[in-house]
Amino acid sequence: MMTRLTATTPRWDVPGPAGIPLLGSALDLRRDLLGTLEKAHRRYGDVVRFSAGPRGLRIVMYAVFSPEGARQVLTGTGRRYTKGNLFYRETAAMFCDGILTSEGERWQRQKRFIQPLFTRSRVAGYVDVMAEETAALIDRWRASARHGGTVDAAEDMMRLTLAVIGRVLFGDDLNEATPTLRDAFPVISAHVLRRSQSPLRLPASWPTPANHRAGRAQRQLYEVVEDIIDRRRATTAAGRDEDLLSLLLRAREPDAVGADALDDAEVRDQVLVFLLAGHETTATALTFALHLLGRHPDVQQRVRVEAEKVLGAGNLTPTVERIAALTYTTQVVKEAMRLYPSAYGMGRQIPEEEVIDGYHLPPGADVFVSPWVTHRDPRIWEQPQRFDPDRFTAEQEKQRHRYAYLPFGGGPRACIGQYFSMLEATLATASIVRTFGLHAPAGPVALSTGITLRPAGSVPLTLAPQPLH
């Protein structure tokens, strides 16, 4: 039974599962994080206290599930809600302290440099790369489709989005970096996650095999990016490139006294953030959009009709205007991200006491909002398990709380790449559906809750050479 709070005086006794002696909820959270969160929401309400680990080493977290609670946490980001939690500290230690994890003055400075690189007109300049990489993927898939073959959407969408963000960042230097990016990222991500979830952590400097492995992957990643930066420093003065790296190297603070620029380490940190934040997330959105379309031929057909109308049966060059006209396809991508938000949880720490949704939370508390749970709240979404892109018509969107749907977070630390990834995912979805008929096997896709939510294994998609009319 959901506990409804009626008292107006904030309470201190935040409800939550006791879990098993000594370990608290550690095992439940590790075994089935998403199911445990959903169950706790149903049972205890919109604010839930979880504790994990033995006394003395216990990690306590407060989950905040209501849209209004999420708004408070995300828009209060800054002094009142910091990113000082374990997850972000571990991320900063391994991936550097770029704009995703930095705080205060440092974050503001980085944001001033980086925001201008993600304006709508700048991002519009990346559509050609998105279109070319999508066309290359479609060419590869044509060969499979001729034999009614099956592809792995999860793997191929990762390849696509890494190629897009890689080319946007590095231009022609991408090929040199690709093998390292592919190998090092999963090792570091797994390491960050293990350490941020474990109450028992040896110092990262200790020579354990796990620390060795992660340290080696980190060095490889830094080296490949630093080499590219070094070489680029030598050539950008000539104004050679318009890729994101060159723009970062040339960026100057607009109102700074003297020409303040990012130094090489800061540039490297931002590059790593874009790679970390910018490819797995978009790949997951695309993978699930395609899987769901493969399960829902009626929706697939509506996307196809729209894609043919907007992009033409031949090859009209995609532009931001044309992508903006793909309104139903955009709804499909949004609905896929409602059901499978790659950022399934976002954590903050509160330096001082706060009252959220009628409960006092103590100073130093770790809080997190969970798009996974909020996106499946039956009080907000009718039949939340159902795939229904019509939830995202403009009229429907207007009627919901702004924070009922938060795949890109919100407030000052909201995703900087939202427009970029929506363009990329919408264009790729429409282009693929215009070319192939998609069929996906029945049954749920197993999920992995790593740094982001993603499919645990392959996501098979059977392709028909001609769209299924």
- Per CB under 6 A, does 417 bind ligand HEM? yes
- Per CB under 6 A, does 437 bind ligand HEM? no
Residue 416 Cβ vs ligand HEM, minimum distance, rounded to whole Å: 4
Q: Which is nearer to ligand HEM, 44 or 344 (CB)?
A: 344
Inter-residue contact 364 to 29 (CB < 8 Å):
no
> Which helix or strand (DSSP H or E) is residue 152 part of?
strand 150-152
339, amino acid identity: L
Cα–Cα distance, 301 to 118 (Å, whole number): 33
Cα–Cα distance, 378 to 394 (Å, whole number): 20
What residues does 61 pair with on adjacent strands?
Answer: 50, 366
Using the rule CB under 6 A, which residue among 187, 303, 346, 463 binds ligand HEM? 346
Using the rule CB under 6 A, which residue among 16, 67, 407, 467 binds ligand HEM? 407
Q: Which is nearer to ligand HEM, 415 or 427 (CB)?
A: 415
- Per CB under 6 A, does 461 bind ligand HEM? no
- Per CB under 6 A, does 416 bind ligand HEM? yes
DSSP β-ladder status, 365-369 and 59-64? parallel
Q: Which is nearer to ligand HEM, 131 or 346 (CB)?
A: 346
- Per CB under 6 A, does 272 bind ligand HEM? no
Cα–Cα distance, 344 to 453 (Å, whole number): 6
Cα–Cα distance, 311 to 330 (Å, whole number): 14
Nearest residue to the partner ligand HEM, using Cβ:
417
Give me the torsion for CA of 408, 197, 225, 241, rounded to 10°: 0
Contact region with ligand HEM (CB under 6 A), list: 63-71, 136-144, 260-268, 408-416: 408-416
Residue 160 Cβ vs ligand HEM, minimum distance, rounded to whole Å: 12
DSSP classification of residue 438: E
Contact region with ligand HEM (CB under 6 A), list: 130-138, 147-155, 229-237, 415-423: 415-423
- Per CB under 6 A, does 174 bind ligand HEM? no
Q: Which is nearer to ligand HEM, 222 or 420 (CB)?
A: 420
- Per CB under 6 A, does 278 bind ligand HEM? yes
- Per CB under 6 A, does 277 bind ligand HEM? yes
Q: Which is nearer to ligand HEM, 349 or 431 (CB)?
A: 349
Using the rule CB under 6 A, which residue among 85, 282, 370, 374 binds ligand HEM? 282
Cα–Cα distance, 310 to 322 (Å, whole number): 6
Q: Which is nearer to ligand HEM, 404 or 415 (CB)?
A: 415
Whole-angstrom CA distances from 140 to 45, 164, 250 are 48, 16, 36
Residue 117 Cβ vs ligand HEM, minimum distance, rounded to whole Å: 9
Q: Give me the 66-105 binding string for ligand HEM, x by CB under 6 A, dash otherwise.
A: ---------------------------------xx-----
What residues does 164 pair with on adjacent strands?
Answer: none
Scan for tokens 């002094």, then name that residue: 79
Residue 290 Cβ vs ligand HEM, minimum distance, rounded to whole Å: 14
Q: Is 368 helix (H, G, I), strand (E, B) or coil?
A: strand
Inter-residue contact 270 to 99 (CB < 8 Å):
yes
Using the rule CB under 6 A, which residue among 328, 403, 408, 436 binds ligand HEM? 408
Whole-angstrom CA distances from 371 to 195, 322, 375 are 23, 30, 6
Cα–Cα distance, 271 to 98 (Å, whole number): 8
4, amino acid identity: R
- Per CB under 6 A, does 285 bind ligand HEM? yes
DSSP β-ladder status, 346-350 and 354-356? unpaired
Inter-residue contact 359 to 14 (CB < 8 Å):
yes
Using the rule CB under 6 A, which residue among 87, 126, 274, 403 binds ligand HEM? 274
Residue 240 Cβ vs ligand HEM, minimum distance, rounded to whole Å: 22
- Residues in touch with ligand HEM (CB under 6 A): 99-100, 111, 165, 273-274, 277-278, 281-282, 285, 342-343, 346, 407-409, 413, 415-417, 420-421
